Amino acid sequence: MSNFSFTGINLAISTPFNDDGKVDYARLEKLIERYLAAGVRGFVLSSGTGMHVYLSQEESKELVAFGAKVINGRANIIAQTSALLVEDVVERTRHAADCGAGAVMVLPPFFEGPADDDGVFEFYASVARAGLPIIGYNVPQAVGVEITPSLLRRLCEIPEFLAVKDSSGDLSKQAALVRTGLPVMNGADPLVPYAMYAGVSGLIWGGANFAPKTCVELVAAAQERRWDDAREIWRVLEPAMSLIWQGDYVQSVYAASAMTGYGAGNPRRPLSRLSAAKSDVLRSAIGELVERERLAH
């Protein structure tokens, strides 16, 4: 849509941790500056890739406040405010608004929550009380709730409901969401160029943490309909983007980012570092990205 504010890459930025497992704010500031220099113009703070589920509510709120202060209007900000209790989602969303976020990303009810369309609609209608634009999160393989085209149409009747991020990984289902004519954001790394060709409104991209310059180049080529150029750039990105989607996603993004020079430390427990064997496979998949990204420094 022409008035959609979150086109292009919205980086689901990894949360840096120090050796004690605490959020490393000094490193976060440096990473944000480097991603801005690489051309990233949208950030998702406290994202899934940023280990939202393993941050306390206060840590998540502090992370959003700090990140927004560093970004300081130089890029769009989406904050994930997902929680089990609606009241907590509303509180987190109001805090994100106070920090200057332009939208929030919110999972539908999960962990034995309502799974029917009426329950999902009522949940998002309640979150809308906080007043910020809402990006719904379609990841049925993780939460057991699917946002279908018919449900998306209904959700977009809520004035604050802006779009859905589709991380199902199913291109045919994502294309069906796109055909509604409503804003859809791709959240599946291996689908990026295909999703852009299908007409998604924007991207929320975790894998861009380890290859921001190359990802920005790919998106620019696709937006300008230089599909031959996009396919050539995707040739470099595809092996790693496909591999991280096959399992150990967060650990793989942290490991790959360290390999390409955008390290955020280790993921927080209970997640562990990627095993040596898997790291070797990942390093091979990254290939020439290390050199491409080095030239961006």
Give per-residue pLDDT as tens, 18-39. Answer: 999 999 999 999 999 999 999 9
CATH code, 9-294: 3.20.20.70
Q: Does residue 1 register a pLDDT over 70?
A: no
User: Residue 261's pLDDT is what?
Assistant: 94
Q: Does residue 3 register a pLDDT over 90?
A: no
Q: Work out the average pLDDT over 134-139.
A: 96
Q: Work out the average pLDDT over 142-154.
A: 93
User: Residue 12's pLDDT is what?
Assistant: 98
Any residues with CB less than 8 A from the CB of 107 and at least 6 apart, and which?
82, 137, 139, 143
> What is the C-alpha to C-alpha distance for residues 249 and 61, in angstroms, rounded to an integer?
24
Q: Does residue 113 register a pLDDT over 90?
A: no
User: Residue 14's pLDDT is what?
Assistant: 98
Q: Work out the average pLDDT over 224-249.
A: 97
User: Residue 296's pLDDT is what?
Assistant: 56
Q: Does residue 256 register a pLDDT over 60?
A: yes
Write the pLDDT tens digit of every residue in 207-227: 999 999 999 999 999 999 999
